[in-house]
Structure formats: structure tokens, C-alpha cells
């Protein structure tokens, strides 16, 4: 197959986001917009992938490199338009055959199939192929002037006359060319337009003027939606969530209220999992089969073993590992801790930097005191342990297999296996003293 390189144009300022954070680092489903685009591009299996950024875009480049350190970068020092940005990637197109596709970086909903559709057009022998769409409101978009399969020109909205603005087919976000056609015509770009910029879209008429042929393909509006404002970011989030809900339902996951369930970009859930309403998944979650996640739970960076029950109102934080048939109940928080097979942590409990053995029962109100103000410490609880309600386990501490800890204990020393630990003040009863205290209190009140 001919070489197919993709260049992401990511040097835009994004001022309409009204944010100190670079636009492409704003997140959709827990991942920066640029990460979604990079993943979609990589899944189309290009020969190479490059990104054009501003010179000081260190955070953006770091986010991209975290996905694939082999991705190349170019800098656009002066913001002179998309055509100028494409010129900055000259090493990609200055020699050889094959194809190069340029894609605008603020389109997080693109799919691998979108890139493949463009690639197929080029492999059919066209010198260029452009992605188009038919928006409900075409205002502001460049119009595709076509004749049959031929794309004659792309006219930017600000440069279009009234007749051209009546065209409903608009430029989306991918323009691809044969390397040969692009390098022969790129020098013809001029900035004599309303914006005073070098438009990449002008490559269509320049290549045609040299005898080349350009075509187009059409994608759904929800796939090519760009993000320039907070409102558009929210729309992109909603579209991504709808996609994920469909994916989950098709994979055999039960969503009792799909519209109130939110997924991250990398959520992995096996079949026969039931998810009740108002559950939120952050990044890094993997759920095995036959799990029930009850309402109003928040889960991130966690692995949930098969047959487990989580929630309602549970929070699993990064590093939470639940083995098969574990139970984590209402108002329980688990962080950087393992819960063994069949273990139960069901009520009003915090387990952090700890491990809990198989079949252990942790009573309501138990906390692992893992932080001393400077460092985190580990709590080790063995198998078949019973931890009474309202117990504080002051780490570092270990509890042996089969031990029993009395309710209300503050455990500061290791507990041997099979031991009974009572670590609380001895109860004292003073007969009739309650009446004496009430009488004294009433006398003070007068």
C-alpha cells in the first residue's frame, strides 16, 4: 500500500475557550481532545503521524508523546494560517510518493473510519480528497463547490458571495493530497483574502489549475464536530458518552439508565455487568463479568473482579483492586488498596494503602489511618478477619488471619493470627448518676 502520513494541525490559540489551558488539552471523557484525535489517527494505521504546534507548546507535546513517543513534531512560529502550518511539515511531503493528510486538531470525535474513507479516495487515483459534511447551519463554514464527484473549490465563508453561501455542503476537517501534487502546488498559496492568511483549502484550486483532480467524501456532522467554545466542548462530551453507551449496551452491559451513566475514554467493562443509575467512571477502570455497580458510585483507576458488588454511593479511587465476589458498600472509599476474594467492606468506611484478605469482614465506620502528615503507611489485614465497627487501624500495622477486633478499637500494634483485640477504654457505669447530672445542669440554667 502507498505511504499515508497524517499531520495534525494543532497550533491554534483557542481564545474562545476563555481559558489559560491550551484548547486541545481540554478534556472529553477524561482525556485531552488531542489524545482522542491521535488515537483515532493511529488506529487508521498511517505510515507516520506528526503534529504541528506552537513553539512553546510543551504541555501539548507531552500529552501527545504520552500516547506514542514516536510521533514527530513541527513548530509554527508565526500564525499565518493553515496553509502556512502545513508548510511547516515540509519533511513529510517534500519528496517521495504516497499521500499526506492534514487534519485540524480540535476534532476529538473523528473515527479511524473517517481517515480510511479519505485514504480510499486517494488510492482510487485522485490527487486530493477533502472531508465534507452537511450541517444544519452552514454559517461560518467554508463551502465545497462540486460537480459530480469533482471538488472544484473550497470557498471560505468570509470570501463567499451570496450564491456560494447557499451551498449546504461544507468543509470539515481533513484535507489529503498525493505528495507529488501537494509539493508542486504548495508554493502557489497566497494570502490575498479576507483573513490575510494562507489557506490550506486553496490547495484545491491550485492543484486543479495544474491539471490535478480533487474529490470529496461526506461524514456525519456529529463525527466532524469541532470544538472552539465551552458549549461545543459540552456537546462533544455528550456525543462521546452516547457512543460509549451504545458500545456498552451492544457488548452485553446492562445500563438501567444510560443517560445518567458516564464513561471515560478507556473504560473496559465485560458482559453481564449491571450498572445502576448515576454511576461515573473516570480513567483507568476495568470491570470483570457479573459485577453489579449500584447507583451514585464514582470509580476511577480501579479493577473490579467478577461477581463483585459496588455501592450504592461508593468511591473507588486509583489503585483500588477488588478480587472476585468482593463487596464494597454505601459510603465506602477505597484507595490504593486490595480487597480479597469474598471480602466485605459494606458501610461508611475508608480503606487506603491497605490489603484485605479473603472473606474478611470490615465493620461500619472503620478507617485505616494511613497518613502521618508526612508519609503514607500500609495496613495489612489477613484472611477471615472480623473488624468490629468504628475501628481505627493506625498504620503501619498488620492483622493476622482469623483475628477478631472489638468494635470501637484503636489498633496501634500488630494483631496476631486468631487473636481477640480490644483496644478501647474500659466502660464504667455509675448507677443513678444521670439524674444527678440533669439536676445539676438545670440548676445552672436558672
Q: What is the reported pLDDT for 159?
A: 87
What CATH number has the domain bearing residue 266?
A: 2.160.10.10
For residue 434, is it within any domain?
no
> In this structure, are 328 and 383 located in the same domain?
yes
> In this structure, are 39 and 78 located in the same domain?
yes
How long is the chain? 446
Whether 347 sits among the annotated catalytic residues: the reply is: yes
Global confidence as pTM: 0.91
Angstrom distance (rounded) from CA 383 to CA 414: 15
Q: What is the reported pLDDT for 9?
A: 98
What is residue 325's DSSP assignment?
A: T
> In this structure, are 171 and 30 located in the same domain?
yes
- Give 198-245 pLDDT, tens digit per residue: 999 999 999 999 999 999 999 999 999 999 999 999 999 999 999 999
DSSP string over 53-86: E-TT-HHHHHHHHHH-TT-EEEE--S---HHHHH
| Boundaries of domain holding 251 | 230-421
> In this structure, are 23 and 130 located in the same domain?
yes
Q: Which residue stretches of the chain have pLDDT < 50?
A: none
Q: What is the reported pLDDT for 49?
A: 98
CA of 370: how far to CAs of 241, 300, 328, 335, 351, in Å? 36, 20, 19, 11, 9
> In this structure, are 246 and 156 located in the same domain?
no
For residue 319, is it within any domain?
yes
Task: Please report where in the chains the cell 459530480 appears, as a residue.
Answer: 148
**15 contacts: CB under 8 Å, gap ≥ 6:** none
**Taking the mean position of all CA atoms in its chain, how far away is CA 163?**
42
Q: What is the reported pLDDT for 177?
A: 98
For residue 118, is it within any domain?
yes
> In this structure, are 276 and 243 located in the same domain?
yes
- Which grid cell sits at 346? 459494606
> In this structure, are 126 and 239 located in the same domain?
no
Which residue in 26, 50, 298, 347 is the catalytic one? 347
User: How many domains, the chain?
Assistant: 2
> In this structure, are 388 and 366 located in the same domain?
yes
For residue 166, is it within any domain?
yes
Q: What is the reported pLDDT for 446?
A: 67
Determine the longest span between alpha carbons in the chain, in angstroms.
Answer: 107
> In this structure, are 149 and 257 located in the same domain?
no
Q: What is the reported pLDDT for 343?
A: 98
Q: What is the reported pLDDT for 1?
A: 78
Long-range contacts of 375-380 (CB under 8 A, 24+ apart): 376/352, 377/353, 378/353, 378/354, 379/351, 379/353, 379/354, 379/355, 380/354, 380/355
For residue 432, is it within any domain?
no
Q: What is the reported pLDDT for 444?
A: 87
Name the residue among 354, 131, 241 with its Cα closest to residue 249. Answer: 241
Amino acid at each position: 500500500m502507498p505511504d499515508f502520513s497524517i499531520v495534525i494541525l494543532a497550533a491554534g490559540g483557542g481564545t474562545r475557550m476563555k481559558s489559560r489551558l491550551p484548547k486541545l488539552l481540554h478534556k472529553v471523557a477524561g482525556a485531552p481532545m488531542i489524545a482522542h484525535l491521535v488515537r483515532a489517527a493511529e488506529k487508521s494505521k498511517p505510515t507516520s503521524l506528526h503534529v504541528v504546534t506552537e513553539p512553546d507548546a510543551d504541555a501539548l507535546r507531552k500529552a501527545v508523546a504520552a500516547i506514542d513517543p514516536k510521533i514527530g513534531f513541527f513548530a509554527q512560529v508565526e500564525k499565518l494560517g493553515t496553509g502556512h502550518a502545513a508548510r511547516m511539515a515540509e519533511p513529510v511531503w517534500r519528496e517521495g510518493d504516497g499521500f499526506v493528510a492534514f487534519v485540524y486538531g480540535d476534532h476529538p470525535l473523528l473515527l479511524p473510519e473517517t481517515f480510511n474513507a479519505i485514504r480510499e479516495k486517494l488510492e482510487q487515483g485522485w490527487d486530493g480528497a477533502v472531508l465534507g459534511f452537511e450541517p444544519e447551519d452552514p454559517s461560518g463554514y467554508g463551502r465545497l463547490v462540486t460537480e459530480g464527484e469533482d471538488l472544484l473549490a473550497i470557498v471560505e465563508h468570509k470570501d463567499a458571495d451570496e450564491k456560494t453561501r447557499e451551498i449546504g455542503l461544507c468543509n470539515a476537517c481533513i484535507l489529503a493530497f498525493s505528495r507529488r501534487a501537494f509539493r508542486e502546488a504548495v508554493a502557489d498559496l497566497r494570502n490575498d483574502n479576507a483573513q490575510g492568511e494562507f489557506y490550506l483549502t486553496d490547495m484545491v484550486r491550485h492543484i486543479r489549475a495544474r491539471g490535478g483532480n480533487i474529490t470529496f467524501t461526506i461524514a456525519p456532522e456529529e463525527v466532524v464536530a469541532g470544538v472552539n467554545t465551552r458549549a461545543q466542548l459540552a456537546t462533544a462530551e455528550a456525543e462521546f458518552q452516547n457512543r460509549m453507551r451504545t458500545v456498552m449496551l451492544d457488548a452485553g452491559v446492562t445500563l438501567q439508565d444510560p443517560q445518567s451513566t458516564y464513561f471515560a475514554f478507556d473504560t473496559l467493562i465485560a458482559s453481564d455487568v449491571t450498572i445502576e443509575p448515576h454511576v461515573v467512571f473516570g480513567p483507568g477502570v476495568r470491570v470483570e463479568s457479573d459485577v453489579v455497580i449500584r447507583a451514585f458510585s464514582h470509580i476511577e483507576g480501579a479493577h473490579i473482579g467478577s461477581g463483585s458488588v459496588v455501592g450504592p454511593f461508593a468511591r473507588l479511587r486509583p489503585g483500588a483492586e477488588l478480587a472476585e465476589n468482593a463487596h464494597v458498600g454505601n459510603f465506602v472509599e477505597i484507595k490504593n488498596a486490595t480487597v480479597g476474594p469474598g471480602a466485605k467492606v459494606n458501610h461508611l468506611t475508608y480503606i487506603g494503602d491497605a490489603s484485605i484478605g479473603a472473606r474478611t469482614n470490615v465493620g461500619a465506620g472503620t478507617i485505616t489511618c494511613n497518613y502521618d502528615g508526612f508519609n503514607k503507611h500500609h495496613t495489612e489485614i489477613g484472611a477471615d478477619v472480623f473488624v468490629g465497627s468504628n475501628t481505627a487501624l493506625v498504620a503501619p500495622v498488620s492483622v493476622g488471619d482469623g483475628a477478631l477486633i472489638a468494635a470501637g478499637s484503636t489498633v496501634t500494634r500488630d494483631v496476631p493470627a486468631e487473636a481477640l483485640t480490644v483496644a478501647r477504654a474500659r466502660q464504667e457505669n455509675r448507677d443513678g448518676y444521670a439524674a444527678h447530672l440533669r439536676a445539676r445542669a438545670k440548676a445552672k440554667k436558672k
